[in-house]
Each structure stands twice: as structure tokens, then as C-alpha cells.
Chain A
Amino acid sequence: EAGVAQSPRYKIIEKRQSVAFWCNPISGHATLYWYQQILGQGPKLLIQFQNNGVVDDSQLPKDRFSAERLKGVDSTLKIQPAKLEDSAVYLCASSLGHAVGTLHFGNGTRLTVT
């Protein structure tokens, strides 16, 4: 089966600019996650979708981050305006359903904010 697809792989922007990341989960996976992974740390959950509804966005900085999953398939994560501390790898993952089960991760987008 095809894995989780993410684009772009790398992005360099200046602070205060905006950026968007795209994720296409594994076909049939109802749950989609966006994680932020700062260098040398474990992934931190930003937002979790079940189909096109938000299950958990408690750690999403809503003043600058937004995410959507229209039609319950693809998802986009946006940052506007970006700050230096947003430099990280943004990982998208998907799983089949209700319980966590097996998370399948994409290879991430490495964001550098200068």
C-alpha cells in the first residue's frame, strides 16, 4: 500500500511569512495527525482529525496555526505568521480508526524559519 505522502520536503522562510504543508494519508485511514518534532525531541501532537472532524487541538497554537481536512482525506497545516521557534519537522500520520493502533508516518516537512 502507498504510504503517507507529505509535501514539500523542505521549506525555508523568513519570520512573519506564511507557509502551508500538505498531507495525503493512507487510503481508508479515518484518523489523521499532525505532529511537530523539534530537533532532538520526540513528536508533539498539534492536531488530530477523525474523518473531517477535530478530535484534539489542545496543543495547537491557534493564534498562528490552522489546519483543515476537507472531505476527510487530504489535510493542510498552515502557519501564519511564522516565528523562529516554529523551525521543526512537521510530521503527518494516519491510522485506521478509533484507537491509536498503528500510526503510519510520512517523512515530514523540514521547516526552517530565518
Chain B
Amino acid sequence: TQLLEQSPQFLSIQEGENLTVYCNSSSVFSSLQWYRQEPGEGPVLLVTVVTGGEVKKLKRLTFQFGDARKDSSLHITAAQPGDTGLYLCAGEYGAGGTSYGKLTFGQGTILTVHP
């Protein structure tokens, strides 16, 4: 079973601060996804990174996939209270030929942004 470790587990910051969430593994993934989950709802996909070293930006969110495709980071600039939620990274492995892709999730980072 491929394991993904996220850090930190909890993050409590003031509005306007910057933050980075890390997602690390000893396994190589074919792609890495980041999700955001709000209470009472299912996770919603934010981004998928596929290429080692890839950087994607989504407004104030910057996602990076490690060169070796084993780790990823999510950086939020000038956090806002609306960014509050559970952030999950998920790595895809096993897809190829007739094999179906599988997704394994990290344990999540609970972010609270105070006004």
C-alpha cells in the first residue's frame, strides 16, 4: 500500500498570512491531486499535477510536484477565512495498460484562517 504523509496536521493562522502544506511519500506516483473538503461535504478536486517539477497556480494557491514525483506542496498566499477547510493530497498509482488507476489519500491538513 502506497502511503502519503501530510504535514502539518493542523494549521491555525491569521488572515493575510502565507502557508505551505507538504505531502511526502517514499513511493512514486503517476499523478498527485489536491482536494479541499468542507464540513458535511465530499472532497472537491483543486488540481492534478502529472509531470515531475510541475508547478500549477490557481489564484492564490500554488501547487508543486517534486522532481521525483514522490512529494508535493501546496502554498497559499494571503490566506482568507474562506480558505478554511481540510486539505487532502492524493496520489495515483497502478494505472497503465489494462490496470486501473488507484488513488491513496494523505491524512489531511486542517486549516483554520482567523479574520
A100 and B107 form a contact (CB under 8 A): no
**Residues of A within 8 Å of B, CB-based: how many?**
27
Asked whether A21 is an interface residue with its Cβ less than 8 Å from the other chain, the reply is no
B residues less than 8 Å from A48 (CB atoms): 100, 102
Number of B residues whose C-beta is below 8 Å from A?
Answer: 26
Interface flag for A88 (CB, 8 Å): no
Residue pair B31, A100 in contact (C-beta under 8 Å): yes
CA distance A44 to B90 in the complex (A): 11
Is B65 positioned at the interface, with any CB of A under 8 Å from its CB?
no
| Residues 26-52 (chain B) with a chain A CB within 8 angstroms | 31, 33, 40-45, 48
Query: What distance in Å separates the Cβ of A99 from its nearest Cβ neighbour in chain B?
Result: 4
The proximity string for A residues 97-114 relative to B, scoring 1 for CB distances below 8 Å and 0 otherwise, is: 011111101111000000
Is A82 on the interface with B (CB-CB < 8 A)?
no
Residues of chain A with a CB closer than 8 A to B42's CB:
4, 91, 93, 105-108
Q: Which residues of B contact A61 (CB under 8 A)?
A: none
Complex CA–CA separation, A31 to B92 (angstroms): 14
**Known: A40-B110, A55-B100. Contact between A102 and B45, CB under 8 A?**
yes
Of B33, B43, B100, B108, the contact of A41 (CB 8 Å cutoff): B108
* Interchain Cβ contacts under 8 Å between A and B, 16 examples: A31-B100, A33-B103, A40-B107, A41-B107, A41-B108, A42-B88, A42-B105, A42-B108, A43-B88, A56-B100, A98-B95, A100-B92, A100-B95, A103-B43, A107-B40, A107-B42
Interface residues in chain A, defined as those with a beta carbon under 8 Å from any beta carbon in chain B: 4, 31, 33, 35, 40-45, 48, 50, 55-56, 59, 91, 93, 98-103, 105-108
